[in-house]
Each structure stands twice: as C-alpha cells, then as structure tokens.
C-alpha cells in the first residue's frame, strides 16, 4: 500500500512542478510560495478535521514537536528555493536537481538514522546521481 501512496505523491509532485511553473510567471517567487503554503495549510488542517484526529494534538511529545517544527522549516526553505529556481530555470532541469534530494536523503539516512547501507541502495543512488547529471547537462 505504501507504494501506491508514494506513486500518487510522485504524480502530484510532478503536477506541482508544472502548475507552479505556469503560475509563477510574472510574480515574485516568494509570494507564489506563500500562496501555495496557505493552500497546503488549509488542505492539511482540513484532512485533520475530516479524519477527526485534531484531539491527538495533546499527545504529541516535545521531541516530536521539535522535529516537526524543524521539518516544517526545512520544507519552507525547500519551497522558497524551489520556486525561485523554477521561476528562473527550465522545469526539465530544475526538477531533476530537486529530486536529487533522494540521494541526499539516502546518505543522511545512512549517517543520521543508521539505516543499513546495501549494494542495492548504493547502486540506486549512483544511478540517480548519473541520471540527474545527464538531465541537467
């Protein structure tokens, strides 16, 4: 089931890039990011209330709060940089570099989360890296 959700995430991420590239034409990329963020905010809280999980807020521990806030800040920076890159660059080149985050995440998962380093993940990371550079050169 995780694969279906991941695939849907990829499809909507692709739509995000295309819609954003069209939408940011002629406006400041930071303003565009802020507009997008408000929409995401309403959608996310809407899902919380639709699923009735708002009563679980009190159960969130301090460590989770800290890391969720840090994650939100990282997302904010990522979106600001992404929209600026998308505004001034070609989507077909910006997106592969952005998706290079897969390789960066793998490396961080090995180092920070102590996930197992396997031949399969290393080869996958190498091929993604090669593919990224092929796409942008």
Does the pLDDT value for residue 137 go beyond 90? Answer: no
Confidence label for 126 from pLDDT (cuts 50, 70 and 90) = very high
Residue with tokens 């301090």: 62
Contact criterion met (CB below 8 Å) for 41 and 84: no
Predicted confidence (pLDDT) per residue in 22-42, tens digit:
999 999 999 999 999 999 999
Predicted confidence (pLDDT) per residue in 49-83, tens digit:
999 999 999 999 999 999 999 999 999 999 999 99
Residue 60's region, left for phi above 0, alpha for psi from -120 to 50, else beta, is beta
Strand boundaries in the chain, DSSP class E: none
Does the pLDDT value for residue 110 go beyond 90? Answer: yes
Residue 100: phi and psi, rounded to 5, are: -65, -10
Distance CA 55, CA 14 (A): 33
For residues 76-103, average pLDDT: 93
Q: Which of 134, 130, 33 is nearest to 92 (CA)?
A: 134
Contact criterion met (CB below 8 Å) for 29 and 87: yes
Residue with tokens 């969130």: 60
Tokens of 102: 């897969």
Tokens of 86: 């998308």
- Cβ neighbours around 24 below 10 Å, total: 20
Does the pLDDT value for residue 129 go beyond 90? Answer: yes
Tokens of 29: 């990329």
Does the pLDDT value for residue 113 go beyond 90? Answer: yes
Domain residues of the chain, as ranges? 1-52+61-89, 90-136
For residues 104-112, average pLDDT: 96
């Amino acid at each position: 089931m995780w694969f279906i959700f991941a695939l849907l995430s990829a499809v909507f991420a692709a739509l995000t890039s295309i819609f954003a590239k069209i939408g940011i034409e002629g406006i400041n990329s930071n303003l565009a990011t802020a507009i997008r963020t408000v929409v995401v905010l309403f959608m996310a809280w809407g899902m919380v209330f639709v699923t009735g999980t708002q009563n679980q807020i009190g159960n969130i521990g301090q460590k989770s709060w800290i890391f969720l806030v840090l994650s939100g800040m990282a997302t904010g920076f990522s979106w600001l940089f992404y929209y600026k890159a998308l505004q001034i660059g070609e989507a077909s080149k910006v997106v592969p570099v952005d998706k290079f985050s897969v390789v960066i995440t793998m490396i961080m998962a090995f180092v920070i989360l102590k996930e197992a380093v396997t031949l399969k993940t290393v080869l996958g990371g190498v091929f993604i890296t090669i593919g990224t550079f092929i796409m942008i050169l």
